[in-house]
Amino acid sequence: MKPLLLAIGLYSAALSSHSLAACNSDHFDSEGIVAYAFDGDTVELVDGRHVRFIGINTPEVGHRGQASQPLADAARAHLMSLLPKGAHVRLRLDQEKNDHYQRLLAHVFTDDGQNINELQLVGGFATTLIVPPNLWQRECYATVERAARDARRGIWALPNYQAISSNSLTISDNGYYIVHGQVTSVRRVRDGIWVNLSGSLGLKIEQADMSYFSVADLSALSGMNVEARGWLHPDKKQLRLRMQIRHPSDLARIDR
C-alpha cells in the first residue's frame, strides 16, 4: 500500500476511537475561507491571509526542487481532506498573533467544532510545537500526541522521529530531533541556563523563556536521564551541538 494511503487509513482507524473536539475552544476570534494548503500546518485564506497552525508542526513539503520530508505530502493531503478549497474555518488566536513571517497564528476549527490542529495530531501527521507565549491547549495537544506516539501512527513509525541517544550525535547533525541522554551539568549563565547532556549536546534555555521554568527543578536534573525535542544547530567553534528549549514541555525526565 502506498505511504499516503496507509497514513490516511491509519488516521481513520485512530479517529474512530478518538473523542472529537476534545481540545475544544471557548471562543473564536476570526473566520475565513480556505483557498490553498501549503503543507500540513499552513493555509492561505481567500482574503490573502496566511494562517500558521499553533501548537503543532508537520513535516516540510519540498519547495524549489527540494524533496519533501517523509509523510509531508500525506500530512498536506490529510489537511486538504479536512479543509478543501472553499471550506469555512473559525480561528482561535492566542497571545502572539503573528510569527516573524507575518503569518497569522491560530488554532483552526471547522463550523461543527472540530479542531484541525488536534486532528493532525490524532493520525500522527504532526508533532506538538509549543512556542511561548502561545500556550493554549498545550496539555490537551500533548495528550493527543502521546496516544499517536504510543500507537506508532504516522510519523511516529519513522526512524527520524525515534528518540536518539545524545552520545550518538555528531557535529554534522541538524534539523528536528528527539534526543535522550544523561544530564552531565546544569550551568547558569548571563543570558539563561545550559543543560548539558552526555556527548556534545547543550540544551539552551534563554533568559526570555526562564519565567516558564523552575531553576531549582532544572538544577535537580543533574545526573538524571532526560528526553528533549527541538532543532539541532552545530556550534563548530566549540565542536558541539545546541538545541534551544522554549518550554518545559520540550524537556522531560525519563527512566532508562
Give the pLDDT score at 233.
Answer: 94
Same domain, 13 and 139: yes
Backbone angles phi, psi at 204, to 5 degrees: -105, 125
Q: For residue 81, what is the domain's CATH number?
A: 2.40.50.90
What digits encode the pLDDT tens for the residues 239-251?
Answer: 799 999 999 999 9
30 pLDDT exceeds 70? yes
- Determine which of 21-30, 92-101, 173-182, 185-194 has the lowest per-residue pLDDT on average: 21-30
Considering Cα of 153, then 158, then 160, then 163, what sign does the dihedral take?
A: positive
**Mean pLDDT of all residues in 33-56:** 98
Considering Cα of 29, then 118, then 71, then 172, what sign does the dihedral take?
A: positive
Q: For residue 197, what is the domain's CATH number?
A: 2.40.50.140
Nearest one of 80, 76, 97 to 89, comparing CA atoms: 80
Q: Quick one: cell of 85?
A: 478549497
Taking all residues of the chain, what is their mean pLDDT, rounded to a whole number? 92
19 pLDDT exceeds 60? no
- Domain hosting 234: range is 163-253
Same domain, 145 and 96: yes
The total of other beta-carbon atoms located within 10 Å of residue 248's CB is 15
Distance CA 38, CA 79 (A): 10
Question: Where does the pLDDT of residue 66 fall: very low under 50, low under 70, confident under 90, or very high at 90 and above?
Answer: confident
What digits encode the pLDDT tens for the residues 80-102?
Answer: 999 999 999 999 999 999 999 99
Give the pLDDT score at 4.
Answer: 54
**Percentage with pLDDT > 70 across the chain:** 91
Same domain, 19 and 70: yes
252 pLDDT exceeds 60? yes
The total of other beta-carbon atoms located within 10 Å of residue 56's CB is 25
What digits encode the pLDDT tens for the residues 212-226?
Answer: 999 999 999 999 999
**Mean pLDDT of all residues in 145-154:** 97
Domain count across the chain: 2
Distance CA 223, CA 219 (A): 10
Last residue in a domain, options 122, 157, 192 = 157
Same domain, 128 and 29: yes
CB 106 within 8 A of CB 54: yes
Give the pLDDT score at 1.
Answer: 47
136 pLDDT exceeds 90? yes
Same domain, 86 and 23: yes
Give the pLDDT score at 198.
Answer: 96
SS3 182: strand
Last residue in a domain, options 157, 173, 193 = 157
Same domain, 153 and 167: no
Same domain, 175 and 106: no
Same domain, 134 and 190: no
Last residue in a domain, options 131, 157, 183 = 157
Distance CA 159, CA 86 (A): 36
The strand pair at 240-244 and 201-206 is best described as parallel
CB 241 within 8 A of CB 201: yes
What pTM does this model have? Answer: 0.89
**Mean pLDDT of all residues in 134-145:** 97
Same domain, 172 and 69: no
Give the pLDDT score at 2.
Answer: 55
Give 196's strand partners.
185, 202
Same domain, 22 and 91: yes
Same domain, 126 and 183: no
Same domain, 178 and 139: no
Give the pLDDT score at 14.
Answer: 58
